[in-house]
Structure 1
């Protein structure tokens, strides 16, 4: 099985220009790091610290008490967490699904850093106020109303609920349909921290599906409130870096040939290619099945997500359904399972990489990661 980056000497065609994948991946990584303020590593440390109390659940079904003691978060003050609690509680009272809570909290993180901002004078963006930087002049309410976090949260949810299909949109798409921001791609970088905060306030509801009164753990092709979903429903065959395959950088999910493969989360397609060759360098191609003697991923796709995350999907049966540079929503079909490249039978080889980790190309075990995202792998089709 190939590891991420082993074919960086090969070029990818995009329009009339050819871009080396290594340069493209590096550009995407640098861009994301700049957007995140260099806090990618801090985020994952924070997420690890704040998952221990609710990893086992998918939401306790209890209403959030914004006046109670708030859970601690490495990157957020008590005031910021309390404002997030108000946003979540309003969503609960309105029976908005948990996905909406994550979108709302992430939006407030981008707009105000979860501070209830008053008029900042010369530093104000027009007449924007409050947690969501809503503007009285564009119909959000009076200044006094917008400065009430409960009112501001309710107005955000009211507009979100009018957006057709918002539950299956990427966070950026859904938030932008409500906010009309000048920086529409900025929301995505807050998605996982927002999920962590929602989880800590609700006993794990960011990993759940359903409305606020009927939370249940995600199964099948459902999208968790965190915005993640399993790419296929199949048992785990070969695991991550096992004793017999120490360089195996992902997991093999056993599914029949032709099973639809879904994007595990929203993101940008940064690689679509066929990689199948013999040990002597002879091209094998992806128009036929591979075998254990063939090297490479066969037909495969890589998707860049927020916070420096990247997912890879290998051994597709035919050319993928997506193209380089395409933005995909969570759960969007990107191709079909097969056995092209280095493969002994139909399955999906699935990898997760943290690009900020310089060791081993940042590959991490997808099983515990997807469990934390509320989209567990290993479910039999």
Structure 2
């Protein structure tokens, strides 16, 4: 994949995956006191601006990171999202729960408080979360109260063991038991943006730190993402001296645990290390700048067509192909196998489930927008 030898690009293949939202937006939300009008919109003009991470490192990053394209939500939709977030705050549910709840309501009702629709009704489903009186969610009058409906959703969510480390789809499905369990994932990024806008960034905060803009170390952001390691960002993405460097290098000591950046399925876990003449070098020993390949590495497929890659592990990965991993789950340990001159993690993010250079994006702004910036200390 890179002339620096970090990764050998595979043959181009055709991938079928969910349509991916490819440009970044930023949101402006004007919220007045209870009952006031709410305006919400995304400003596409900010796509090319840089901004400070606000995480104590003074780093400037570009906002082009493959997040939701601009779109409008109505006053009613934003007001209902605000109610859902407020109830979550009042119940002291961690910010990740707010995103799950808003995304669930986006799928179930498009954030509209739906009454009984007669022949178009799905059984006796009502309200923001399409809860059913006949299955014990409450009376029709109660369910049609957005605050009540949101509270019932959260009360069920927090009883699910490990919900904070589940994918959004898994957590939502445990609550809703939907006939379409895979439908929630497509709303995750927009829900994160809406919640972040409503809370001034608190959706990216760790539980118990509602004023903090970013998480660090092993904490999981409300978006469901976390930094794979806490090391300093070294060589950057497609720099002038390494224009085909399709990721960033995170500098950490040998043997540092590497964590999955988000929930997903392991699609590759293998060794790749050889000389320029094709001679196998292997991953049982350290690599060098004259060795090509990623060494021991892992690829994980995530929701919404995101794919991440983690290179130069010191030994065989801790996970296997087909394994489901949670955000922050250990997948291996840092080393210097393959094309490497010292211990680090070469970390890549790809769009459209495309592992080639065509799918690669800069991980620094992407992870910043996910609320899990790279380069933060544990």
Instruction: State the TM-score, normalized to the length of structure 1.
Output: 0.84
How far is 1:260 from its partner?
Answer: 0.7
1:72 maps onto 2:41 in alignment: yes
Gaps of 5+ in 2: 43-70
- Give the structure 2 partner of residue 288 of structure 1: 285
- Using the alignment, how far apart are the partners of 1:349 and 1:7 within structure 2? 17
Q: Would the aligned equivalents of 1:96 and 1:212 in 2 still touch at CA under 8 Å?
A: no
Q: Would the aligned equivalents of 1:258 and 1:338 in 2 still touch at CA under 8 Å?
A: yes
- Using the alignment, how far apart are the partners of 1:341 and 1:358 within structure 2? 18
How far is 1:6 from its partner?
Answer: 1.4
How far is 1:180 from its partner?
Answer: 1.5
- Give the structure 1 partner of residue 311 of structure 2: 314
- Using the alignment, how far apart are the partners of 1:5 and 1:125 within structure 2? 50
1:158 maps onto 2:167 in alignment: no
- Give the structure 2 partner of residue 120 of structure 1: 117
- Give the structure 2 partner of residue 139 of structure 1: 136
How far is 1:5 from its partner?
Answer: 7.2
1:314 aligned counterpart, secondary structure: strand
Residue number among 10, 13, 20 corresponding to 1:7 in the alignment: 10
1:243 maps onto 2:229 in alignment: no
How far is 1:194 from its partner?
Answer: 0.6
How far is 1:185 from its partner?
Answer: 2.4
Q: Would the aligned equivalents of 2:17 and 2:305 in 1 still touch at CA under 8 Å?
A: no
- Using the alignment, how far apart are the partners of 2:33 and 2:203 within structure 1? 14
Supply the RMSD in Å over aligned alpha carbons: 2.5
Q: Would the aligned equivalents of 1:254 and 1:346 in 2 still touch at CA under 8 Å?
A: yes
How far is 1:68 from its partner?
Answer: 4.0
How far is 1:209 from its partner?
Answer: 0.7
Q: Which has the higher helix share?
A: 1
- Give the structure 2 partner of residue 305 of structure 1: 302
Instruction: State the TM-score, normalized to the length of structure 2.
Output: 0.85
- Give the structure 2 partner of residue 105 of structure 1: 102
1:368 maps onto 2:371 in alignment: no
Gaps of 5+ in 1: 10-21, 34-39, 55-61
- Using the alignment, how far apart are the partners of 1:359 and 1:64 within structure 2? 49
- Using the alignment, how far apart are the partners of 2:6 and 2:294 within structure 1? 9
The Cα offsets for residues 87-146 of structure 1, whole Å up to 9 and x where unpaired, read as 111112222221110110011112122122222333322221111111111100111211
Cα 1:273–1:193, aligned 2, differ >3 Å: closer, same or farther? same
Cα 1:135–1:253, aligned 2, differ >3 Å: closer, same or farther? same
- Using the alignment, how far apart are the partners of 2:110 and 2:208 within structure 1? 26
Q: Would the aligned equivalents of 2:296 and 2:315 in 1 still touch at CA under 8 Å?
A: yes
Moved more, 156-165 or 230-239: 156-165
- Give the structure 2 partner of residue 350 of structure 1: 347
- Give the structure 2 partner of residue 58 of structure 1: none
Cα 1:243–1:250, aligned 2, differ >3 Å: closer, same or farther? same
The Cα offsets for residues 32-70 of structure 1, whole Å up to 9 and x where unpaired, read as 23xxxxxx33xx43x4232xx69xxxxxxx998563423
Report how many aligned residue pairs link the two structures.
346
Residue number among 17, 21, 27 corresponding to 1:31 in the alignment: 17
2:17 aligned counterpart, secondary structure: helix
- Give the structure 2 partner of residue 266 of structure 1: 263
Q: Would the aligned equivalents of 1:262 and 1:335 in 2 still touch at CA under 8 Å?
A: yes
- Using the alignment, how far apart are the partners of 1:94 and 1:337 within structure 2? 39
How far is 1:281 from its partner?
Answer: 1.2
Aligned 1:218-233 pairs, distance under 5 A = 218-233=215-230
- Give the structure 2 partner of residue 181 of structure 1: 178
The Cα offsets for residues 320-353 of structure 1, whole Å up to 9 and x where unpaired, read as 1112122211111111111111111111000111
How far is 1:156 from its partner?
Answer: 0.3
- Give the structure 1 partner of residue 83 of structure 2: 86
